[in-house]
Amino acid sequence: MTNILAFETSCDDTSVAVVTDRYKVLANIISSQLDHADFGGVVPEVASRLHIRNIVPLTQAALKKAGLTFGEINAIAVSVNPGLIGALLVGVSFAKSLAYGLSIPLIAVNHMLGHVYANKLEHPELEPPYLALIVSGGHTELVHFSAEDDFRIVGQTRDDAAGEAFDKTAKLIGLGYPGGPLLDRIARNGDPDFAEFPRGLKQKDNYDFSFSGFKTAVRNYLSDKNPQFIENHLADIAASVQKAIVESLVSKTINYARKNKLGTIIVAGGVSANSLLRKNLTRSAQKIGAEIYFPPLEYCMDNAAMIGAAAVNKFLRNEFAGLDLNAFSTKGIRRI
Ligand code: KG4
Ligand code: ZN
């Protein structure tokens, strides 16, 4: 049995996991940094410093949970991009020193690919070809996988990411941060047809996304409403906002899958936790006869178990990183 100790520090969650080469999660400890809430967004320097404080106790806790000692760990995996550079560097430096100290291989993982592999934790048998819709706080990408290491981005956002669209509109209607999960919860009691917001780039053969016009439309809509009206219709506005974001994600994904005869669709990233996206995409996928996979809820948001999962194939192929490994913040899914 191979045990991979994995680290995720790309944004505001410090996470350490132990995952086996059969995609079994022996431990997945996450410390979400609540210190950013007062600022309405993640403060990079604060995130880096908290990762430094968290990473040693979290590693000890993960090993304890897994019932393993350092001597029973066979490889170290770490997300190296994309993300906040200072935050990534904490994980990368710690991972490198452990790999060196324990004389075991080091595996570099792209964070977005990690999100895709979160699906393997429940479905280890899942193999390309498939279409991956990656929707997180910083990314919205439609990725056509022909094979595990052969994929291309066929659509992406031209401005805001889907999670960002949720967070920013949630902020406009007075919800806290991060707005996505809060908006999802409130929208459950609302009327999704209460207000009509525009969908960006509606042309059928265009697989790119755009949420900036939508965001402006929500701001304009709210600007001439009095606070009491907004308060009274919070759930309805939230439901209408959610419907607009989800509809554009669903229609682009389904159009691409149908046109390119892809029978499997997988969803990844924090927004894959969204209840309406799960419901509508499942229904639309069924209509075109495609199978649809979402990660288990606990692996939708940033976590180290998905980084360990993405490292399994690299471990089996001996694709190891040297100790000169560096973090970098360039956006997007990529082979590294
Ligand atoms: O993948 P993730 O944890 O971090 C990044 O790599 O960005 O995604 C975080 C994003 C945030 O924008 C958050 O608001 C959004 O995922 N999110 C949701 C839900 N849960 C998380 N958005 C809509 N509905 C949800 N239930
Ligand atoms: Zn993420």
Per CATH, is 128-294 categorized as 3.40.50.300? no
CATH topology of domain 3-117+302-316: Nucleotidyltransferase; domain 5 (3.30.420)
Residue 155: C-alpha distances to residues 150, 207, 262, 328 (Å): 16, 5, 15, 23
- pLDDT in tens for each of the 336 residues of the chain? 899 999 999 999 999 999 999 999 999 999 987 888 778 788 999 999 999 999 999 999 999 999 999 999 999 999 999 999 999 999 999 999 999 999 999 999 999 999 999 999 999 999 999 999 999 999 999 999 999 999 999 999 999 999 999 999 999 999 988 899 999 999 999 999 999 999 888 887 899 999 999 999 999 999 999 999 999 999 999 999 999 999 999 999 999 999 999 999 999 999 999 999 999 999 999 999 999 999 999 999 999 999 999 999 999 999 999 999 999 999 999 999
Residues lining ligand 1, CB < 6 A?
11, 136-138, 163, 166-167, 178-181, 184, 269-271, 273-274, 301-302
Give me the pLDDT at residue 310, please. Answer: 98
Q: Whose C-alpha lies nearest to ligand 1, atom 23?
A: 180
* Domain 3-117+302-316 matches domain 128-294 at the CATH topology level: yes
Ligand 1 centre and the CA of 44: distance in Å?
17
pLDDT at res. 15: 98
Pocket test for ligand 1, best of 166, 275, 303 (most atoms within 8 A of CB): 166
State the distance from the centre of ligand 1 to the C-alpha of 64, rounded, in angstroms. Answer: 29
- Res 42: pLDDT: 87
pLDDT for the residue numbered 238: 98
Mutate which of 15, 173, 188, 301 for ligand 1? The one with the most ligand atoms within 8 Å of its CB, which is 301
Find the 307 Cα to ligand 2 centroid distance in Å.
10
pTM listed for this prediction: 0.96
- So what's the pLDDT on residue 263? 97
Q: Which residue puts its alpha carbon closest to atom 16 of ligand 1? A: 270
Any idea where the domains of the chain sit in the sequence? 3-117+302-316, 128-294
Which atom of ligand 1 sits closest to the CA of residue 275?
26
Which residue's alpha carbon is at the smallest distance from atom 3 of ligand 1?
A: 301
Return the HEC string of the chain: CCEEEEEECCCCEEEEEEEECCCCEEEEEEEECHHHHHHCCCCHHHHHHHHHHHHHHHHHHHHHHHCCCHHHCCEEEEEEECCCHHHHHHHHHHHHHHHHHHCCCEEEEEHHHHHHHHHHHCCCCCCCCEEEEEECCCCEEEEEEEECCEEEEEEEECCCCHHHHHHHHHHHCCCCCCHHHHHHHHHCCCCCCCCCCCCCCCCCCCCCECCHHHHHHHHHHHHCCCHHHHHHCHHHHHHHHHHHHHHHHHHHHHHHHHHCCCCEEEEECHHHHCHHHHHHHHHHHHHCCCEEECCCHHHCCCCHHHHHHHHHHHHHCCCCECCCCCCCCCCCCCCC
pLDDT for residue 32? 84
Residues contacting residue 5 through CB under 8 Å, at least 6 positions apart? 16, 17, 18, 59, 62, 63, 73, 75, 76, 77, 98, 308
pLDDT of 267? 98
